[in-house]
Copies of this chain bind each other. A is one copy, B any other.
Amino acid sequence: MGSKVADLPHPFDPLSLDEIAHAIGLVRKAHGEVFFNVVSLQEPRKAEMTAWLENPEIAPRPKRIADVVVIAPGGKVYDGLVDLADSKIIHWEHAEGQQPIITMEELQLVEHIVRKDPKVIEQCILSGVAPEDMHKVYCDPWTIGYDERFGNNVRLQQALMYYRPEVDNCQYQYPLDFCPIYDADKGEIIHIDIPKIRRPLSTAPPMDYIPAAVEARGGYRNNLKPINITQPEGVSFKLDGRWLEWQNWKFHIGFNYREGIVLNDITFNDKGTVRPIFYRLSLAEMVVPYGNPEAPHHRKHALDQGEYGAGYMTNSLSLGCDCKGSIHYLDAEFPTRNGGVTTIKNAICIHEEDAGILFKHSDFRDDSVIVTRGRKLIIQQIFTAANYEYVVAWTFHQDGTIAPEIKLTGILNTYAMLEDEDTHGWGTQVYPGVNAHNHQHLFCLRIDANVDGPNNTVFVGDAVPSPHPVGSPENFYGNGFYNKRTKLATEGESKTDYNGATSRTWEIANTNKLNPYSKKPVSYKLVSREVPGLMPKEGSLVWKRASFARHAVHVTKYRDDELWPAGRHVPQTSGEPSRGLAEWIGDGTTSIDNTDIVLWHTFGVTHFPSPEDFPVMPAEPMMLLLRPRNFFAGNPVMDVPPSYCSTPSQVAAGKLGVLDATDKLSTLAFANGAVRVNGTNGAAAASCCSSKTNGVNGH
């Protein structure tokens, strides 16, 4: 068990091991032996929290409440709330017909049962697995998504089946073609989906990425020289509890089983004025629909956060490996199924990186120049959803930009195919006998906005030409264009799609505060270019279950507990009615004009696999920006020390007083003459940013 909690936890802090254990103890006392699915912080009610943040001396400190989900014998699901200070269960309710998140422990159980099930064994033998090789049969258990044959009163998993000739082989190259259905309450296989066309186990030789396989193919390349990244004087950020301060930013770093990293109360110190920007940022949900319409592949549309939890699936990160430099880690603490507690060490890493040129300008008249290098701060986690890994990096820039970045890596989900079978365009043969289906990764970024205060308004911005024709007095030469701003006045109106042709952006504005110069409302702009539409059609199962993915943006009025846009309990929802966002928006008449709002942004990629992605995928990055626009009265990074600066007067005076803080560790690549094969060797670099020409002077 963890160390004693010395200080009172901050109301935003995740539950500590002690708090989790305390909640578990209280629930056990009242309700006996149950399986613990969730014991997590119920986030403070916003009104109370805001009052306390503003006036911690006067306003009451928000209580620590544990949000609890348990599965009681008979598969009965209960939602509960536990007041930790009062040691009291304050809410307890049977969640009829709802299935809570499937934990890693539950997933682990299925494979062992699958291997012993006689009907599964029969299918394995039919597929070409030797009966004595059942220990070489593996499964990735997924929630069933939704299957109308079974409904949602029985807790189910579907077992995507694979074979590994050797334990170290990548199993995704030997998929099996049938799909057992597992009943969690009974702990047994209740059905097997068997395709009409059978596809026996592939006999292709393994293609692996493990060292032994690479060695057998000729070994590792040995032509990469180390790049060392060090911070001998330490890092530039400070942590006070879970409050991080860096380069005018301040925010609280939370973490939960569901969303993973949660950032709260993000502010920017603008020359002494602490300005709020976001009350809360998180990745609130995601969906990965696969595009093969043949049943049962339609069930492959993981809502990974609501169905498994980006927190529960998070990796334990390690120094010099997942990140380099000077790193700080934060752990994550969770309940276990049987009522214990567990820690994922190093669930979050925090570090800085050089960000290249922050700004530069030279005057072409005289070569006076300023070059300033930027820095970024990264709060990162990596979670593994069976085959895929998601690297989630919340990146903060000095100029007020927040750039959430996601990298996809790991392994494609695969299905069996006869060698060179027609995939009908729904997938790609990435290796003989291996069909990787088309899929999307759609993430829902939840932006609880607080741009210079709680009352915000969202505008769509479209770059459009002047309405006046070429040759008209208003647009004679035809070059006029402007940013057409459209206010989203109600939740219904807020349902907006991306428009590549107009480089559409969404502006989260505070219309009560105008920029002193532009006289436009202070705002943060959502600049996001990886915004594919949801490919599953209107009315499809995915469309119904993942209502957040129907549009690039939805905006809702803030309401406590509206955190997860596919609903609280996601597994086995039918989408009739849609839970979460569609339910909250309802008829869409609620005003979102100049009030406390939440913007939900769905972005991601559409992935048509290719052999390059197999057997493990080189990381594919995607990024979006939250940029201050008309928020500051000027460039907020002018006080970042330049690497080099010479002003026109200094240049004219022969460079007296030139500021030169250039990094002195950088070297010429071939200064020692050892490496370059041919040609003139490393003439000394020009002294920093000096006059650019020699020879006959052109100026």
Asked whether, in the complex, the Cβ of B537 is within 8 Å of the Cβ of A478, the reply is yes
User: What residues of B have a CB within 8 angstroms of the CB of A302 in the complex?
Assistant: none
Q: Is A386 an interface residue (CB 8 A)?
A: yes
Q: Is A413 an interface residue (CB 8 A)?
A: no
**Residue in B210, B239, B345, B360 whose CB lies within 8 Å of A647:** B210
Asked whether, in the complex, the Cβ of B319 is within 8 Å of the Cβ of A668, the reply is yes
**Residue in B384, B499, B539, B639 whose CB lies within 8 Å of A219:** B639
Q: Is A205 an interface residue (CB 8 A)?
A: no
**Residue in B231, B346, B541, B664 whose CB lies within 8 Å of A685:** B346
Asked whether, in the complex, the Cβ of A230 is within 8 Å of the Cβ of B228, the reply is yes
Taking A108-B699, A234-B675, A291-B480 as contacts, is the C-beta distance between A389 and B362 under 8 angstroms?
yes
In the bound complex, what is the Cα–Cα distance between A308 and B482 (angstroms)? 27
In the bound complex, what is the Cα–Cα distance between A438 and B479 (angstroms)? 10
Contact string against B for A residues 461-486, beta-carbon threshold 8 Å, 1 for contact and 0 otherwise: 10111101110001111111111000
Taking A336-B698, A360-B409, A617-B635 as contacts, is the C-beta distance between A224 and B382 under 8 angstroms?
no
In the bound complex, what is the Cα–Cα distance between A517 and B682 (angstroms)? 45
User: What residues of B have a CB within 8 angstroms of the CB of A568 in the complex?
Assistant: none
In the bound complex, what is the Cα–Cα distance between A429 and B633 (angstroms)? 11
Contact string against B for A residues 607-632, beta-carbon threshold 8 Å, 1 for contact and 0 otherwise: 01011111111110000000111111
Asked whether, in the complex, the Cβ of A344 is within 8 Å of the Cβ of B168, the reply is no
Q: Is A418 an interface residue (CB 8 A)?
A: no
Q: Is A236 an interface residue (CB 8 A)?
A: yes
**Residue in B229, B318, B328, B615 whose CB lies within 8 Å of A354:** B229
Taking A361-B411, A371-B321, A678-B240 as contacts, is the C-beta distance between A301 and B479 under 8 angstroms?
yes
In the bound complex, what is the Cα–Cα distance between A479 and B659 (angstroms)? 61
Taking A293-B476, A529-B529 as contacts, is the C-beta distance between A429 and B685 under 8 angstroms?
no
Taking A239-B679, A293-B466, A365-B108 as contacts, is the C-beta distance between A638 and B325 under 8 angstroms?
no
Q: Is A431 an interface residue (CB 8 A)?
A: yes
Q: Which parts of A383-426 form the interface with B (CB within 8 Å)?
A: 384, 386-387, 389, 391, 397-401, 407, 409-411, 420, 425-426
Q: Is A203 an interface residue (CB 8 A)?
A: no
Q: Is A273 an interface residue (CB 8 A)?
A: no
- Interface-located stretch among A41-49, A51-59, A687-695: A687-695
Asked whether, in the complex, the Cβ of B669 is within 8 Å of the Cβ of A234, the reply is yes
User: What residues of B have a CB within 8 angstroms of the CB of A321 in the complex?
Assistant: 371, 373, 643-644, 662-663, 688-689
Q: Is A584 an interface residue (CB 8 A)?
A: no
User: What residues of B have a CB within 8 angstroms of the CB of A232 in the complex?
Assistant: 226, 228
Contact string against B for A residues 332-371, beta-carbon threshold 8 Å, 1 for contact and 0 otherwise: 0110110011111110001111101111111011010111
A328 to B, closest residue via Cβ: B669
Q: Is A105 an interface residue (CB 8 A)?
A: yes
Taking A318-B690, A529-B529 as contacts, is the C-beta distance between A104 and B698 under 8 angstroms?
yes
Asked whether, in the complex, the Cβ of A224 is within 8 Å of the Cβ of B236, the reply is yes
Q: Which parts of A623-671 form the interface with B (CB within 8 Å)?
A: 627-645, 647-649, 652, 659, 662-670
Q: Is A238 an interface residue (CB 8 A)?
A: yes
15 contacts between A and B (CB under 8 A): A227-B354, A227-B375, A230-B665, A238-B677, A239-B670, A240-B676, A315-B692, A321-B371, A327-B669, A331-B683, A341-B695, A356-B619, A470-B539, A498-B501, A501-B533
Q: Is A73 an interface residue (CB 8 A)?
A: no
Asked whether, in the complex, the Cβ of A370 is within 8 Å of the Cβ of B430, the reply is no
**Residue in B236, B319, B531 whose CB lies within 8 Å of A688:** B319
Asked whether, in the complex, the Cβ of A360 is within 8 Å of the Cβ of B382, the reply is yes
Q: How far apart are A36's CB and chain B's nearest CB, in angstroms?
A: 11
A contact patch SS: loop
User: What residues of B have a CB within 8 angstroms of the CB of A675 in the complex?
Assistant: 234-235, 238
Asked whether, in the complex, the Cβ of A639 is within 8 Å of the Cβ of B218, the reply is yes
In the bound complex, what is the Cα–Cα distance between A668 and B239 (angstroms)? 13
Residue in A293, A297, A371, A617 with the greatest tally of chain B CB atoms within 10 Å: A293
**Residue in B167, B358, B530, B535 whose CB lies within 8 Å of A619:** B358
User: What residues of B have a CB within 8 angstroms of the CB of A226 in the complex?
Assistant: 231-233, 663
Asked whether, in the complex, the Cβ of A224 is within 8 Å of the Cβ of B345, the reply is no
**Residue in B474, B541, B613, B662 whose CB lies within 8 Å of A293:** B474
In the bound complex, what is the Cα–Cα distance between A431 and B519 (angstroms)? 10
In the bound complex, what is the Cα–Cα distance between A247 and B605 (angstroms)? 28
**Residue in B409, B636, B652, B690 whose CB lies within 8 Å of A359:** B409
A640 to B, closest residue via Cβ: B221
Asked whether, in the complex, the Cβ of A612 is within 8 Å of the Cβ of B631, the reply is yes
Taking A226-B233, A322-B357, A628-B612 as contacts, is the C-beta distance between A606 and B503 under 8 angstroms?
yes
Q: How far apart are A331's CB and chain B's nearest CB, in angstroms?
A: 8
In the bound complex, what is the Cα–Cα distance between A687 and B316 (angstroms)? 10
Q: Is A374 an interface residue (CB 8 A)?
A: yes
A3 to B, closest residue via Cβ: B680
A272 to B, closest residue via Cβ: B218
Q: Is A500 an interface residue (CB 8 A)?
A: yes
Lowest 5 A-B CB distances belong to which pairs?
A: A500-B500, A478-B540, A340-B696, A316-B692, A293-B480
Q: Is A242 an interface residue (CB 8 A)?
A: yes
Contact string against B for A residues 419-447, beta-carbon threshold 8 Å, 1 for contact and 0 otherwise: 01000011011111010001000000000
Q: Is A493 an interface residue (CB 8 A)?
A: no
Asked whether, in the complex, the Cβ of A676 is within 8 Å of the Cβ of B211, the reply is no
Taking A351-B669, A430-B518, A517-B429 as contacts, is the C-beta distance between A359 and B108 under 8 angstroms?
no
In the bound complex, what is the Cα–Cα distance between A354 and B628 (angstroms)? 29
Asked whether, in the complex, the Cβ of B104 is within 8 Å of the Cβ of A686, the reply is no
Q: Is A89 an interface residue (CB 8 A)?
A: no
Asked whether, in the complex, the Cβ of B316 is within 8 Å of the Cβ of A686, the reply is yes
Q: Is A313 an interface residue (CB 8 A)?
A: yes
User: What residues of B have a CB within 8 angstroms of the CB of A222 in the complex?
Assistant: 641
Taking A529-B529, A675-B234 as contacts, is the C-beta distance between A663 and B324 under 8 angstroms?
yes
Q: Is A329 an interface residue (CB 8 A)?
A: yes
In the bound complex, what is the Cα–Cα distance between A411 and B637 (angstroms)? 14
A401 to B, closest residue via Cβ: B618
Residue in A430, A535, A666 with the greatest tally of chain B CB atoms within 10 Å: A666
User: What residues of B have a CB within 8 angstroms of the CB of A672 in the complex?
Assistant: 234
Q: Is A241 an interface residue (CB 8 A)?
A: yes
Asked whether, in the complex, the Cβ of B324 is within 8 Å of the Cβ of A354, the reply is yes
**Residue in B105, B350, B369, B683 whose CB lies within 8 Å of A669:** B350
